[in-house]
């Protein structure tokens, strides 16, 4: 068999978001299995320090919006892929799929996997139409589509890929033992030492996360529980933070809502909270939801937050709420912060073990890599087979 080229994982960057964390986990898992792997991204980030062996190439990110930066990076990505001659290319997040698709033009024999990590149906009609067109291009190009939930796999743009058997559902996973170990580490924070209850939410400061709706829900819940507070762990542009702080101030919650930014180890703060809230308007499969469940914290999740309903088994392991209804969110928060009524996660997180998830992802990569090797072998043998055919025809003529 010919020697395979490396597996290339493409991501926007290696900061602390879910796509970056999943990229690092998979890269390390492949490296442990002896597979050569390289992460190609626009920019690095703190998670690069967690890599144990895989190479990283940063293409550099230009100024401006992420979509423009990705488009500008396509020529450099194409050159890098051509130089590496990878056995498999796996695009790890929705935002990068079209850039990866464009960079793979001229490399038709390279197996390509696209991991669909977020709900494609969000946004207005025009946005959904444009996004659907792009995803149809990606789905037609894919050797395999790897969807993080059954709901995403059922989306319209993937209809033909489903019919062709090119769709796989591989949910996210969590290393619950590692989360619990980190949650037990000492940490200093004023909200831990004052003994007053608080809620926690984890995620970047973006309209997807629906923090405005959550702030309104906290305001409503405080009519019954005036001691409730909200701690938000997640980075974002200063403009977004100022807008959310102004929203909290307008609701009379300036002292009751705190935007902490990114935290190296959020788990002690999550574990000490009365409840974790995921109020997102849309998601794919939330890593932070699984991490909160690993901490044993009661959870409230949006019904539209991707796989949240399936993860919570429709309310058996936490409460679901309508993210567009602050009163519904407030009701769920009050239930989950009352020791007499709250529903804990139980042992549900055991169904989403990270090692099992990574094993399935590595198997999908190995299958595509084997296909690449077989195609290479056939291509190398083709001239020899053609000569044998010519010889046989000559002998029959004689």
Tell me: the pLDDT tens digits for 93-111?
Answer: 999 999 999 999 999 999 9
Are residues 10 and 342 in contact, defined by beta-carbon separation less than 8 angstroms?
no
HSE-CB for 165 with a 13 A CA cutoff? 0
Backbone phi, then psi, for 56, in 5-degree steps? -135, 130
Of residues 376 and 11, more confidence is placed in 11
In whole angstroms, what is the distance from residue 11 CA to residue 44 CA? Answer: 10
Query: Residues 44-73: pLDDT tens digits?
Result: 888 999 999 999 999 986 566 788 899 999
- Whole-model pTM above 0.95? no
Predicted confidence band of residue 172 (pLDDT cuts 50, 70, 90): very high
Q: Does domain 177-351 have CATH number 3.10.180.10?
A: no
Q: Give the per-residue pLDDT at 65.
A: 78
Give me the residue label for tokens 């990076």: 73
Backbone phi, then psi, for 276, in 5-degree steps? -105, 135
With a cut of 90, say whether residue 322 has pLDDT above it.
yes
Give the residue from 165, 118, 125, 156 showing the smallest Cα distance to 286: 118
Q: Give the per-residue pLDDT at 325.
A: 97
Query: Residues 197-231: pLDDT tens digits?
Result: 999 999 999 999 999 999 999 999 999 999 999 99
Q: What is the CATH number of domain 7-173+353-384?
A: 3.40.50.2000
C-beta neighbour count of 189 within 10 angstroms: 14
Query: Residues 97-148: pLDDT tens digits?
Result: 999 999 999 999 999 999 999 887 777 777 788 888 999 999 999 999 999 9
Please state the rounded mean pLDDT for residues 263-280. 96
Task: Quote the tokens at residue 222.
Answer: 């405080």
Query: Residues 360-396: pLDDT tens digits?
Result: 999 999 999 886 555 554 444 545 445 555 555 555 5
Of residues 124 and 323, more confidence is placed in 323
Determine how β-strand 112-116 pairs with β-strand 144-147: parallel
Please state the rounded mean pLDDT for residues 11-27. 91
Maximum CA extent, the chain:
99
> Where are the domain boundaries for CATH 3.40.50.2000 in the chain?
7-173+353-384, 177-351
Q: Give the per-residue pLDDT at 1.
A: 38
């Amino acid at each position: 068999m010919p020697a395979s080229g490396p597996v290339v994982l493409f991501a926007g960057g290696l900061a602390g978001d879910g796509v970056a964390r999943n990229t690092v986990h998979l890269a390390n898992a492949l490296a442990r299995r002896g597979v050569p792997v390289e992460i190609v991204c626009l920019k690095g980030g703190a998670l690069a320090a967690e890599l144990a062996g895989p190479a990283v190439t940063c293409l550099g990110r230009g100024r401006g919006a992420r979509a423009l930066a990705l488009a500008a990076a396509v020529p450099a990505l194409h050159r890098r892929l051509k130089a590496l001659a990878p056995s498999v290319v796996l695009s790890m997040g929705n935002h990068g799929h079209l850039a990866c698709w464009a960079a793979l033009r001229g490399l038709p024999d390279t197996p390509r996997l696209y991991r669909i990590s977020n709900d494609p149906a969000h946004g207005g009609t025009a946005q959904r139409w444009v996004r659907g067109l792009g995803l149809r291009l990606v789905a037609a190009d894919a050797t395999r589509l790897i969807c993080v939930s059954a709901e995403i796999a059922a989306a319209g743009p993937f209809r033909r890929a489903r019919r062709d058997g090119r769709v796989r559902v591989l949910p996210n996973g969590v290393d619950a033992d590692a989360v619990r170990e980190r949650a037990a580490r000492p940490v200093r924070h004023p909200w831990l030492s004052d003994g007053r209850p608080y809620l926690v939410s984890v995620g970047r400061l973006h309209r997807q996360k629906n923090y405005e709706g959550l702030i309104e829900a906290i305001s409503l819940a405080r009519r019954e529980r005036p001691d409730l507070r909200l701690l938000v762990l997640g980075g974002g542009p200063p403009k977004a933070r100022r807008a959310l702080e102004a929203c909290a101030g307008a609701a009379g919650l300036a002292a009751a809502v705190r935007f902490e930014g990114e935290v190296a180890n959020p788990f002690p703060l999550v574990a000490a909270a009365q409840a974790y809230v995921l109020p997102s308007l849309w998601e794919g499969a939330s890593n932070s939801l699984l991490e909160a469940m690993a901490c044993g914290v009661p959870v409230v999740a949006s019904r539209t937050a991707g796989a949240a309903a399936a993860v919570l088994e429709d309310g058996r392991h936490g409460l679901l709420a309508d993210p567009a209804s602050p009163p519904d969110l407030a009701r769920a928060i009050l239930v989950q912060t009352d020791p007499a009524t709250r529903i804990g996660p139980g042992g549900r997180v055991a169904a989403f073990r990270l090692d099992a998830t990574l094993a399935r992802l590595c198997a999908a990569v190995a299958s595509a890599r084997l296909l690449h090797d077989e195609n290479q072998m056939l291509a190398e043998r083709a001239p020899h087979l053609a000569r044998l055919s010519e010889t046989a025809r000559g002998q029959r003529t004689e």
